[in-house]
A and B are shown apart, each in its own frame.
Chain A
């Protein structure tokens, strides 16, 4: 019954969802000359800067595998997370004028943001594959399992975004706090470096980060051409479902109070 309601609701608002995602695309590139090409170019340029800084200046390297692919694969995943969670955090607050006037399920707003960034994410896979081929890394049959990690990342981000958007309604300071948190998180996630350069003791802290597992999962396949271990399948699945569940509970419990904090 409960799930049937969700499905019916979802069907009813799917057109709105598609309109909101479309709106985001239109607005995002409205006045830029290159338009959607930025979606492809941005992560590549981002990668180039990081690779330049870390491999030339700090002499980072990843023995046996290509450093460019290493950086870009981590970056693509992390960028999705940081952009989607940032946008979904502000989505409820930004749409207050609507929420206050018309009944719309409030999850629509950040779900549309996660989808919008998700489509953008799929576009960034194009430059990733170009780099994979250009550097001679090549592909293998295991690439077919990659969507598993993407789905885990999506669910994790959704859950995390739900928690963030709920907190940010009650506590606007969250926008500033989270900006700092994301910066810190960027450096605590092994994107530019390999986790092996961290001391054993500190590694435990690094491994509490679910993003580490999603990124490792896709690197196992893309860089090392091997099937990720059963354990990493389980950790990825459980961590993402756990965050999604927590997010849903937190959001559901608080969403009726949102309107008082306009």
Chain B
């Protein structure tokens, strides 16, 4: 279903610091030197990561901040091209990496449902057909014609979650989004996620809540400094991860 083959990802941390018009001309004029000079600020966010995910499996990712979890998800979602290695995927992906990224704050909720749906790759017919379902799930019936600019952040998140989860994707990528909205909506969104998972969707799941991971995932990938430290059954790995993290 998903095959990640020796994926490595290099970032150049110095880019922003050095980049100026002056630097640009210096670099362009001294092409030769640039090739010899190796940047000191190279950073390998991922190095040589390989694993496979079967259809219908729910995989959790754990690791400290900056371990490469989000980068790995972005590579799988096709947002970033890996520096080395490749990813084989069959099935359509629904990336829920950051909710509401495609919203235009000046448009109303109604207009944003169409815009954001289009960003996520839905067809026009599909959105029209599911429009009522999206609205009723988000419970924002009374605010449909209000510009999203005037929404509270919780309302924006509810709308975004409702749009993103309306599809039945074959592969679902979830990066820390289950904690949106108020308590009631959190409950509702978790139920929704569980029903999606139960429906045979392959899920890649990043969270810092080990309880969530333990209860939702079949297997866990433990990332440490861009490398896979361990892969295995979720309970086992989570406990070991917790121990190591707290001892440090």
Closest Cβ neighbor of A174 among chain B residues: B21
Does B183 sit within 8 A of A, measured CB to CB? Answer: no
A98 adjacent to B106 (CB under 8 Å): no
B107 adjacent to A101 (CB under 8 Å): no
Does B115 sit within 8 A of A, measured CB to CB? Answer: yes
Complex CA–CA separation, A121 to B101 (angstroms): 30
A15 adjacent to B120 (CB under 8 Å): no
A259 adjacent to B24 (CB under 8 Å): no
Closest Cβ neighbor of B125 among chain A residues: A15
Closest Cβ neighbor of A167 among chain B residues: B24
A-side interface mostly: helix
Partner of B95, one of A20, A102, A260: A102
B15 adjacent to A171 (CB under 8 Å): no
Give chain A interface residues in 1-50, CB to chain B under 8 Å: 12-13, 15-16, 18-20, 23, 26-27, 30
A102 adjacent to B79 (CB under 8 Å): yes
A256 adjacent to B106 (CB under 8 Å): no
Contacts of A101 in B (CB 8 A): 74, 79, 95, 97-98, 101
Give chain A interface residues in 97-131, CB to chain B under 8 Å: 97-104
B115 adjacent to A19 (CB under 8 Å): yes
Partner of A103, one of B11, B77, B114, B124: B77
Complex CA–CA separation, A92 to B118 (angstroms): 18
A26 adjacent to B119 (CB under 8 Å): no
| A103/B24 contact (C-beta < 8 A), A16-B118, A261-B15 known | no
| A98/B80 contact (C-beta < 8 A), A23-B111, A26-B107, A27-B104 known | no
Does B136 sit within 8 A of A, measured CB to CB? Answer: no
Total A residues in contact with B, Cβ cutoff 8 Å: 26
A15 adjacent to B124 (CB under 8 Å): yes
Does A200 sit within 8 A of B, measured CB to CB? Answer: no
A260 adjacent to B102 (CB under 8 Å): no
Nearest Cβ distance between residue A171 and chain B, in whole angstroms? 6
| A19/B97 contact (C-beta < 8 A), A27-B106, A260-B12 known | no
B107 adjacent to A100 (CB under 8 Å): no
Complex CA–CA separation, A173 to B23 (angstroms): 12
Contacts of B78 in A (CB 8 A): 103
Does B179 sit within 8 A of A, measured CB to CB? Answer: no
Which B residues contact A (CB, under 8 angstroms)?
A: 11-12, 15, 19, 21, 24, 74, 77-81, 95, 97-98, 101-102, 104, 106-107, 111, 114-115, 118-124
Which A residues contact B (CB, under 8 angstroms)?
A: 12-13, 15-16, 18-20, 23, 26-27, 30, 97-104, 170-171, 173, 256, 259-261
Contacts A13-B121, A15-B122 supplied; 6 other A-B pairs, CB < 8 Å? A16-B121, A20-B115, A27-B106, A100-B74, A102-B101, A171-B21
